[in-house]
Structure 1
Amino acid sequence: MSSNIDGKDSVLAARATGTTWRDSLLRYYSLAKPGVLYGNVLTAAAGFLFASPGRIDWFLFLAVCLGTTLVIGSACVLNNVLDRDIDTLMARTRKRATVTGGIGARNAVIYSAALGVGGMAILVAWTNVLVVAVGVAGFLAYVVLYGMFSKRMSIHGTLVGSVSGAAPILGGYVGASNAIDARALIAFLMLFFWQLPAFYSISIYRREEYARANVPVVSVVRGVANTKVQILVYTGVFVFVSLLPQVFGSTGWVYTAVMGALGAGWLVLAASGLKYDDDEKWARRMFRYALVMMCAISLMLAIGPRLP
């Protein structure tokens, strides 16, 4: 999952230009895209707790979260290596250590492999086959299908990236339940559809950068007006999916009331974009609201089954 949270990671990378051991650690830390990493792990934890309405196996919870963290970190590091040519052309990424030379490509690949092997070892040793399968699939979807191909070649790259971005919540869910059922599908689709208005909004206010880097995002290929319509449609689909847990008996009215109110607010904001003149300002507001929604999703899925 790639987002404007990367901007915070770029700041970390920019500060990590010294030669002390602390500077080196900071460079490697920033290379794992901590903003993206923590957001994904938050949803993995939410998925686990959503699937554990009764007793929580805390050891299993820690194993799922730690293993997932390392695997996602591995994918993020490898993605940085693959994106060096693009990152040099974008203001928010040109300070990354793989671009400035703070970390060489060889060392970055070794670092990625160490994270990936460590994460998969934890998942294999202490979780279940479904978690391992989701972890492998999510890694390949992000690094290969998204990073190597669709991001550079297709307007539908965000759709492919959204599959990998929704993998952590599915991994968390199957980690607790050891099953793929309707609730697992709802959780996956919720995060999948959340990403589309979020990242299409980024594509609007970063449109010039994507165009300069020759990345065929929807706002560059089809224009801002078309992107706004798609944002509205996908926001509506997200709101619909986010209200399904109570229909399937997974949560109560508190969850539905909170998510319904927040979803309605996001939908109104999305609709206002059709007539809003300052596209960049509106898109930034949409993305900030998306971050609020991600936190709400994670919190309400975690506690929703335990509330009226």
Structure 2
Amino acid sequence: MTSHGPTPAFHPGSDGTDGALASRAEGTSLRDRFTRYYSLTKPGVLYGNVLTAAAGFWLAARGNFDWFLFIALILGTTLVIASACVLNNVLDRDIDTKMERTKKRVTVTGGIGVRNAVIFSILLFVIGMGILIAWTNPLVVYVGLGGFLVYVVFYGMLSKRLSIHGTLVGSISGAAPVLAGYVGVTGAFDASAILVFLMLFLWQMPEFYSIAIYRRDEYARAGIPVISVVNGIKNTKTQILIYTILFVISTLLLPIFGDVGIVYTVVMGALGLYWIWIGIVGLRATDDDAWAHRMFRFSLVIILALSLMLAIGPITP
């Protein structure tokens, strides 16, 4: 760890006294315990990734839908992603204590002890991978395992803390679900599989870089070398615009392969041009935080629209 990395901090549950506090906290009602364990899975991140996995599946299915395979893939993928999120919460306790939006996570407050969180993560992983191994295909298993390792090890444990390029590494794992969904149907990599992976990879860059602008002070306080902290906001805005343009181009390449038609092209083209326009406006914006919030909010519109259009694109004109 470099000198600018986060400094290990004291965490509830790190000795006998706080371990007892964590145990008492976990001894409350069943509903409260469920809520705490559920929060460990980072539901916002979890369901966003599951949505793209479903979109990849629907795109590859092209109307020939296998519901059993779909349910198995979505359930297994959900559990594996949830496992990674839980483990990431455990690993990020030192960072989370220093950031406003994360300091109330149960792994920080002692609502769930580290040992129980790790056991929960292992159970989710074993069950999820078991489902993928039993009822999907080897490519899905490899993509799921690869995404898990990249997110937990190469992103969470290493690049996020050590390098400005952590976002690039994290975006690989973030693009894995849509790829898993696609190859779950085809059982093979093809040009469209690579393209949907690229779309999700590129989308995450302006999305996270926008967050890095309006949460710049929090990342700086936690010692996380995000681009806005290391290179400044002006450079971050330029990178956001570049990646937004590349994302839009990638979405408009899909019709070339005959997977989608004019409806997809018009919708994604119009939304993409508007997102680029927001990025251009940002270069001259004086209220950086307000603009970054706007850019981030529209990134959510974009990913919802993309997921929908990937799903219905093959069956619409």
TM tier relative to shorter chain: over 0.9
Shift of 1:55: 1.1
Q: Does 1:290 align with 2:295?
A: no
1:235: which partner in 2? 244
2:141: which partner in 1? 132
1:4: which partner in 2? none
1:91: which partner in 2? 100
1:107 to 110, 116, 136: 116
Distance 2:189 2:214 in 1: 37
Distance 1:124 1:62 in 2: 14
- 1:185-229 CA-to-partner distances (Å, cap 9, x unmatched) read 110000000000000000000000000000000000000000000
1:118: which partner in 2? 127
1:306: which partner in 2? 315
Distance 1:194 1:36 in 2: 14
Alignment of 1:1-308 (within 5 A): 19-308=28-317
Q: What secondary structure does 2:283 align onto?
A: coil
In structure 1, give the amino acid aligned to 2:299.
Answer: A
RMSD over aligned Cα, in angstroms?
A: 1.0
Residues 275 and 295, structure 2, Cα contact 8 Å, conserved in 1: yes
Shift of 1:20: 1.2
Higher radius of gyration, 1 or 2: 2
Q: Per the alignment, do residues 227 and 17 of structure 1 end up closer, same or farther by CA in structure 2, a change over 3 Å counting?
A: farther
Shift of 1:17: 8.8
Shift of 1:76: 0.1
Q: What secondary structure does 2:266 align onto?
A: helix
TM-score, scaled relative to structure 2: 0.91
Residues 216 and 229, structure 2, Cα contact 8 Å, conserved in 1: yes
Q: What secondary structure does 2:179 align onto?
A: helix
In structure 2, give the amino acid aligned to 1:104.
Answer: G
Distance 2:224 2:109 in 1: 21
- 1:99-135 CA-to-partner distances (Å, cap 9, x unmatched) read 0000000000000000000000000000000000000
In structure 1, give the amino acid aligned to 2:131.
Answer: I
Residues 26 and 112, structure 2, Cα contact 8 Å, conserved in 1: no
1:13: which partner in 2? none
Q: What secondary structure does 1:274 align onto?
A: helix
Distance 2:101 2:147 in 1: 25
Q: What secondary structure does 2:64 align onto?
A: coil
1:10: which partner in 2? none
In structure 2, give the amino acid aligned to 1:148.
Answer: M
- 1:158-181 CA-to-partner distances (Å, cap 9, x unmatched) read 000000000000000000111100
| Mean CA deviation greater in 174-183 or 17-26 | 17-26
Distance 2:223 2:63 in 1: 49
Q: What secondary structure does 1:47 align onto?
A: helix
Distance 1:82 1:240 in 2: 36
Shift of 1:245: 1.0
1:8: which partner in 2? none
2:20: which partner in 1? none
Distance 1:39 1:288 in 2: 14
TM-score, scaled relative to structure 1: 0.94
Shift of 1:18: 8.7
